[in-house]
Amino acid sequence: MSRRITRLIHHPYRAPAGFEAVPPAVHKASTVIFPNVAALRARDWRSKAGYTYGLHGTPTTFTLEERIATLEGGRHCVLAPSGLAALALVNLALLRAGDELLLPDNVYGPSKDLARSLLDGWGIAHRLYDPLDAGALAAAIGPRTRLLWIEAAGSVTMEFPDVRGLVRVARAQGLTVALDNTWGAGLAFDPFDLGEGLRVDVSMHALTKYPSGGADVLMGSVTTVDPALHERVLLAHMRLGLGVGANDAETILRALPTLELRYDAQDRAAREIAAWLQRQSAIRRVLHPALPGSPGHEHWAGLCTRAAGLFSVLFDEGVEPARVDAFVDALKLFRIGYSWAGPVSLAVPYDLSSMRRDRSALPGTLVRFSIGLEAVEDLKADLAQALAAIG
């Protein structure tokens, strides 16, 4: 008879199989256990038919991947430990030294930083293109250009590009098209069915934002349709060791059923608050793709009816940046912070000089708002008192 501690660790009890409940089970493992050496040698980690190692997937992560693929209208999905990791994974999977990628000028800041630092050091060059000038894209494409990134809308300047126009140019030049679909969240438009026979190749999503909805987890996804493209992403994912935690996957699985309700509620609230801010004298311009006059509004209207609960304002140039900071500091319900799509409304001032080479359409100081789930009247009152506080 073995010792009690050994019996405890090798406990013979197996709970009966067949437990069914509404939430998917949470499986945790570094490794799985094989019944014998032949099974260990035979297992193919690339297929979802079985399990080989925690990094290569568990029932919990496979379940989340399948649901995100459904949300995005794709076939294959790979999870990464943050949106930024997912974005980096796409670049590392698809680019080699000597290749070039194209980024919109207003791209998510850390994406530009990745291109300028690590990718550049590895011999992968990048060019910036004006997201609002699809006609100029062709001129930015060189013989080594492989990958085009699109962000619709840009998450700070809220400019909405002509997604179909950009995809059409990229197709004609044989580029792979990757979309940062965090803003659209799989709800505002269908990245794999843009209409007119067009689609992106890769949809990357910061699940940190809407799919989580709780401001409590970081995760990203890379969704594809083409199996060969998926395999390239999957191989890079395995080689880089980009696993996600089971508890984090569970948090997102739990939040996914309310995704659409939250998206629409935050959309409604954001539009109401954006329209109200447009009438305030200190505000020069409200940047919200669903508002007529906002940059790229016509492109948004041609592709979407919904919008994320995210928008920016440009303060009048007469309001100096220190007063804009004082406005943000005076907010009480709106908290100061970067992320978005959580329950708490957030505000953050941005320096546009690193974000847009041509600032002529975006004068003044920019503040971005993420609208949470608070009552709209309370949020408006908070903005009103903060505007009054800076005179």
Ligand X SMILES: *Cc1c(COP(=O)(O)O)cnc(C)c1O
- Please report how close the Cβ of residue 107 comes to ligand X at its closest, in angstroms: 8
Answer yes or no: are the C-beta atoms of 347 and 328 closer than 8 Å: yes
CB atoms inside a 10 Å sphere around CB 280: 14
Closer Cβ to ligand X, 181 or 382, answer by number: 181
Q: What are phi and psi of 177, to 5 degrees?
A: -110, 120
Which one among 145, 182, 266, 294 touches ligand X, defined by CB under 6 A? 182
Closer Cβ to ligand X, 6 or 247, answer by number: 247
Rule CB under 6 A: is residue 161 a binding residue for ligand X?
Answer: no
59, 64, 69, 71 alpha-carbon torsion, rounded to 10°: 150
Closer Cβ to ligand X, 85 or 319, answer by number: 85
Which one among 77, 102, 166, 206 touches ligand X, defined by CB under 6 A? 206
Cβ-based neighbours of 147, under 8 Å, separated by 6 or more: 90, 91, 94, 95, 99, 101, 102, 175, 176, 177, 178
- Please report how close the Cβ of residue 10 comes to ligand X at its closest, in angstroms: 40
Closer Cβ to ligand X, 84 or 386, answer by number: 84
Rule CB under 6 A: is residue 180 a binding residue for ligand X?
Answer: yes
Binders of ligand X among residues 46 to 85 (CB under 6 A) are: 82-84
Tell me if the bond preceding 153 is cis, omega within 30° of 0.
yes
Strand ranges (DSSP E) for the chain? 76-80, 100-104, 125-129, 145-151, 176-180, 202-206, 220-224, 283-287, 310-315, 335-336, 346-350, 366-370
Rule CB under 6 A: is residue 256 a binding residue for ligand X?
Answer: no
Which one among 157, 203, 208, 294 touches ligand X, defined by CB under 6 A? 208
Which DSSP category does 251 fall into?
A: H
Count of residues near ligand X by CB under 6 A = 13
Rule CB under 6 A: is residue 108 a binding residue for ligand X?
Answer: yes
CA distance 91 to 36: 38
Binders of ligand X among residues 121 to 160 (CB under 6 A) are: 155
- Please report how close the Cβ of residue 207 comes to ligand X at its closest, in angstroms: 7
Binders of ligand X among residues 323 to 382 (CB under 6 A) are: none
- Would you list the DSSP string of 339-388? --SSSS-EEEEE-GGGT-S--TTS-S-EEEEE--SS-HHHHHHHHHHHHH
- Please report how close the Cβ of residue 38 comes to ligand X at its closest, in angstroms: 40
Rule CB under 6 A: is residue 220 a binding residue for ligand X?
Answer: yes
- Please report how close the Cβ of residue 244 comes to ligand X at its closest, in angstroms: 11
Which range binds ligand X by CB under 6 A, 10-18, 112-120, 203-211, 234-242? 203-211
| Nearest residue (beta carbon) to ligand X | 83
Contacts with ligand X by CB under 6 A lie at: 82-84, 87, 108, 155, 180, 182, 206, 208-209, 218, 220
